[in-house]
Structure 1
Amino acid sequence: MELNFEFFNDWVQRKLGIRLEAYKERQMQRRISNIMESAGASSLEQYAKILEADSVARHDFVEHLTINVTEFYRNKSIFEMFEQRLMSQIVPQFERPKIWSAACSIGAEPYTLAMILAKNNVASGRIVATDIDDEILKKAKDGLYQSNEVKNVVASDLDRYFSKNAAGMYQVSPALKNKITFKKHDLLKDRYEDNCHVVVCRNVTIYFKPDARDEVYRKLSESLVQGGILFTGATETISLADQIGLKKIDSFIYQKV
């Protein structure tokens, strides 16, 4: 089957405001083909008509496009290393640290950050959490999680910061929720947060083409104040760090210089 991706890329940008050309081509085309077929469309033109007419189909498309795989303390040993840097370098240096969790998905990451601040008695910390997907942001705000999503949270913290409902799901406490402001944001087109002391952007740029990835990192660097840190994913490396004002200070952690 020959698919008109040029037409579809243009349609998605005009109608949905999503820049598909920034994503790795083969990977993105494979994902689109799969969800198109599952929607019962035999061509991208037909699939575009389905998306235009059906809000549920549009939601499913965006959710499928933006890979929402996450958990609390994802890559726990790396997250613990980040926590050490946060507490030893950022909190002593900045009176009211601003932390931006970019592409936060279902909220496990910003709630992890909120737990870290609470456990270390950092009452002044502010967390902004953003994602492109409205439905995912709603789930993040609800703060309700399956047991596998909180598997890295120690039992004492589960007792302190969560309540367990009758269905066996874990509800984030209001104390953690109150530390976070959730916003919709597209890393490929929207204005970035500014005056950040910490930016956490993990396991996102691996899906982007090199030019788009480099542009995202440049903008993330510009979001940081001098001395602030950027925490990336376990498979992500910033090859042009020195050219955009960043210095690698640990595995997957960069500092604004």
Structure 2
Amino acid sequence: MTTLNFEFFYEWVLSNYKINLNAYKEKQLQRRIGTIMKQSGATTLEEYATILSVDETLKKQFLDYITINVTEFFRNKDLFDNFELMINTHLSTKFNSLKIWSAACSIGAEPYSLAMIVKKNNIKLQQKILATDIDLTILDRAKKGYFRENEIKNVSLVDKNTYFDFMDGYYTIQNDIKNKVQFKQHDLVQGRYEQNFHVIVCRNVTIYFKNDVKDEIYLKMADSLVTGGLLFTGATETIYQPEKYGFKKIASFIYEKVE
């Protein structure tokens, strides 16, 4: 069995796509790379790199696969309901307007979910909800705002009828929600973080990173939040020592910046 040259491939991806694969958990990532490499017909990573450099479709497939775009509206609905409550009880009472960031937003289900919460609760925004992802292809889809039935399964029938138009098998988000969101490319590992957010939603992403990288991300997110701001993480992303980042846990997977 041929040993794959991951050192070469990591350097090649960093040089060509500006993605630091060394930040990801090694075994899981290498298994995924091996799987998608074989699907291309390549038998070595050097050969796979050559294919990616000339085949735009396979390049997009690789970037989409490696950045793991699994999402839906109001994922873990009970947690999202509690998060909406925390916005109203912890933030709306303290701040006249909110600055919100949806990090690693994938196809846009999450930031549009936040926009719906903002709309229904008459929350004033300082600016559009910032929605970021490393994958430009997936951001292009997010901007279009169309979704399959399974991606909006947690949306109530009333909200489906209020905020979506149905056509040709897809649900398209209406402009009054779409216009509350601004999409932008951003790398959580290497990118610069904006400041003075009241809400950061980053869910089901840090589980793929090594612990030291995860620590750095949480520290930078804490620095990006105003005191009293909230970080909402995924259902498998409990922060076991939130105080070392300047957080305290106020609900399941919801953390308040306290210093």
Separation of aligned partners in 1, 2:125 and 2:133? 23
Number of equivalent positions: 256
Superposition deviation, residue 240 in structure 1 = 3.6
The question of 1:109 aligning with 2:110 is answered yes
Amino acid at match of 2:29: M
Q: Which residue pairs with 1:93 in the alignment? A: 94
Which residue in the other structure is 1:212 paired with?
Answer: 213
Indicate the residue corresponding to 2:189 in structure 1. Answer: 188
Match of 1:144 in 2: 146
Once the two structures are superposed, the pairs formed by residues 121-200 of structure 1 within 5 Å of their partners are 121-124=122-125, 126-165=128-167, 167-200=168-201
Query: 1:93 aligns to what SS in structure 2?
Result: coil
1:202–1:233 contact (8 Å) kept in structure 2: yes
- The aligned counterpart of 1:222 is 223
1:26-76 Cα offsets, whole Å, 9 max, x none, are 100000001111111110011111112222221111100011110001000
Q: CA deviation at 1:239?
A: 3.0
Contact 2:99–2:125 (Cα < 8 Å) also in 1: no
Report what 1:83 is aligned to.
Answer: 84
Q: Which runs of 5+ in 2 are unaligned?
A: none
* Percentage of pairs with the same residue: 55
Partner letter of residue 10 of structure 2? N
Q: Is the 8 A contact 1:8 1:48 kept in 2?
A: yes
Residue by residue, what CA displacement relative to the aligned partner does 1:65-91 show, whole Å, maximum 9, x if unpaired? 011110001000011010000111112
**Separation in 2, partners of 1:15, 1:162:** 38
CA RMSD after TM alignment: 1.0
Q: Distance in 1 between matches of 2:240 and 2:16?
A: 34
Q: CA deviation at 1:194?
A: 1.1
- d(CA) in 2 for partners of 1:113 and 1:161? 13
CA deviation after TM superposition for structure 1 residue 236, in Å = 0.3
Note if contact 1:217-1:238 (Cα within 8 Å) is conserved in structure 2. no
8 A Cα contact 2:96 2:124, kept in partner: no
Distance 2:124 2:164 in 1: 19
Aligned partner of 2:52: which letter?
Answer: L
Task: Provide TM-score, normalisation by structure 2.
Answer: 0.96
* Structure 1 runs of 4+ with >6 Å offset: none
Alpha-carbon separation, structure 2, partners of 1:25 and 1:62? 17
Residue type matched to 1:35 in 2? I
Q: Partners in 1 of 2:194 and 2:110 — Cα distance?
A: 17
Q: 2:98, 2:123 within 8 Å by CA — same for their partners in 1?
A: no
Q: Give the distance between the partners of 1:168 and 1:44, measured in 2 at CA.
A: 38
Distance 1:229 1:124 in 2: 15
Q: Distance in 2 between matches of 1:77 and 1:129?
A: 22
Would the aligned equivalents of 2:98 and 2:124 in 1 still touch at CA under 8 Å?
Answer: no
Counterpart Cα distance in 2 of 1:132 and 1:124:
24
Secondary structure at 1:92's aligned position in 2?
Answer: coil
Distance 1:14 1:175, change over 3 A: same
Q: Kindly indicate whether the alpha-carbon contact (under 8 Å) linking 1:90 and 1:228 is maintained by their aligned counterparts in 2.
A: yes
Q: How is 1:40-79 mapped onto 2 (pairs within 5 angstroms)?
A: 40-79=41-80
Local SS of the residue matching 2:182: strand
Counterpart residue type for residue 138 of structure 1: D
> Does residue 26 of structure 1 match 2:66?
no
TM-score by length of 1: 0.97
